[in-house]
Amino acid sequence: MAIPEQVVSSKRKRRLLGGALLLAALLAGLAIYVTGALSPVTPADQARDVSLTVPRNASSAIIGGLLQTRGLIRNARVFNLYVRLKGVGGRLKAGRYSLSTGMSLSRITDLLVKGPPDAREFTVPEGFTLHQIAALLTKQGLTTHDRFFQAVARDQFDYPFLAGLPPGPHRLEGYLFPDTYKVGSDISTHDLIDMMLGQFNDEMKKLNYEQKARAAGLTLHQAVIIASMVEREAKVNRERPVIAGVIENRLHRGMPLQVDATVQYALGSQRSKLYYKDLEVKSPYNTYKITGLPPGPIACPGEASLLAAVEPAHTNYLYYVAKPDGTHAFAVTLAQHEANKRKYLR
């Protein structure tokens, strides 16, 4: 029996109405959810202050995760979507902030775009040691020498490349990445160090560095040690892979590395000239006395030296001597090296 057309039409209308009501309910629910996600986590009279350090080059997704973890927003995904829709995802600034759980998501975003209050900028040059970094930060009024080395020796930092490193004041040598940083004046010493370690971690990921080190037959720690020596010895980028190649050749032959920069590190001072008595210093960092690598890096290497350590030039060179202009004369034999010394060391 045929169903009357008016009955079919009525059923279709009810289905359409039901679908529209369901869609309206879903949109209303979504609006309520988004509104709640954008609103402050706590009422103003129950708000608490929260300090937050945003690492350099952190993505909006990472920042959203930090905000949610610290209880400043309800949902990191909503934050990430919000800043992208506003077109400010790439304008969130690193540094230390004093925020509140009583702030709305939009207010927090505005502060992150504006940047930390009384922001200070400092640059860690490539090849700086921990002592030089401590002096730099002390001069900036951001910490003191004692607080810096207490944090280096005692504080815990959650990065896989630090696992197994020996404790003590040299523990983080080589792992505070040389770069320009912008921070608030009230940043803690722990957060200062963590920011530089975080930048090193980002660099390792960007360069796929651990895999490159394994391909070169090195652990990451060994690669950073070599990179630190290259950083202190080389003055021009084109020579970094060549010097790394000399180090590799001497290691393979079981020869002492005889890197002057390691002696300077053992002596605790940067000297323009080393004397024979300096080469007698008793230290595991004196590569005139030990065979193989020193126990740790001797400075904080930059990207060019890090890459040179895992991608060394393949030559027969075993020796080099510095010329007056800062470049080096390389040699295969000891006789050639002695001739270069007579020529350039006057």
Question: 29 in a domain, yes or no?
Answer: no
The total domain count for the chain is 3
Q: Which residues pair with 98 in a beta bridge?
A: 51
Question: 178 in a domain, yes or no?
Answer: yes
User: Please, what is the Cα angle at 202 between 144 and 212, to 5 degrees?
Assistant: 120
Question: 40 in a domain, yes or no?
Answer: no
Residue-level pLDDT, tens digit, the chain, 346 residues:
555 555 556 666 666 665 655 555 555 555 555 556 788 989 888 889 988 888 878 899 999 999 999 999 999 999 999 999 988 888 898 888 889 999 999 999 999 988 887 778 899 999 999 999 999 999 999 999 999 999 999 999 989 999 888 888 899 999 999 999 888 777 889 989 999 999 999 999 999 999 999 999 999 999 999 999 999 999 999 999 999 999 999 999 999 999 999 999 998 877 767 777 878 889 999 999 999 999 999 999 999 999 999 999 999 999 999 999 989 999 999 999 999 999 988 7
Question: 24 in a domain, yes or no?
Answer: no
Q: Are residues 261 and 214 in the same domain?
A: yes
Question: 2 in a domain, yes or no?
Answer: no
Q: Are residues 169 and 235 in the same domain?
A: no
Q: Are residues 159 and 133 in the same domain?
A: yes
Domain end marker among 93, 114, 135? 114
Q: Are residues 133 and 230 in the same domain?
A: no
Q: Are residues 329 and 282 in the same domain?
A: yes
256 contacts 289 by C-beta, under 8 angstroms: yes
Q: Are residues 217 and 337 in the same domain?
A: yes
Q: Are residues 319 and 232 in the same domain?
A: yes
For residue 21, what pLDDT is reported? 58
252 contacts 314 by C-beta, under 8 angstroms: no
For residue 96, what pLDDT is reported? 80
Compute how many other C-beta atoms are within 10 angstroms of the C-beta atom of residue 294: 21
Question: 15 in a domain, yes or no?
Answer: no
Q: Are residues 202 and 225 in the same domain?
A: no
Domain end marker among 72, 90, 114? 114
Radius of gyration of the chain (CA): 29
- pLDDT tens readout for residues 306-323: 999 999 999 999 999 999
Parent domain of 293:
209-344
Measured over all CA atoms, what is the biggest interatomic distance in the chain, rounded to whole angstroms? 115
Residue 74 sits in a domain whose CATH number is 3.30.1490.480
Q: Are residues 247 and 313 in the same domain?
A: yes
User: Please, what is the Cα angle at 199 between 198 and 205, to 5 degrees?
Assistant: 90
Phi/psi class of residue 338: alpha, beta or left (left: φ > 0; alpha: ψ in -120 to 50)?
A: alpha
Domain end marker among 114, 145, 172? 114
Question: 333 in a domain, yes or no?
Answer: yes
Q: Are residues 331 and 261 in the same domain?
A: yes
For residue 320, what pLDDT is reported? 95
Dihedral sign from CA coordinates of 196, 199, 205, 207: negative
- pLDDT tens readout for residues 83-121: 999 888 888 988 888 899 999 999 999 999 888 877 788
Q: Are residues 167 and 203 in the same domain?
A: yes
Question: 130 in a domain, yes or no?
Answer: yes
Q: Are residues 107 and 135 in the same domain?
A: no
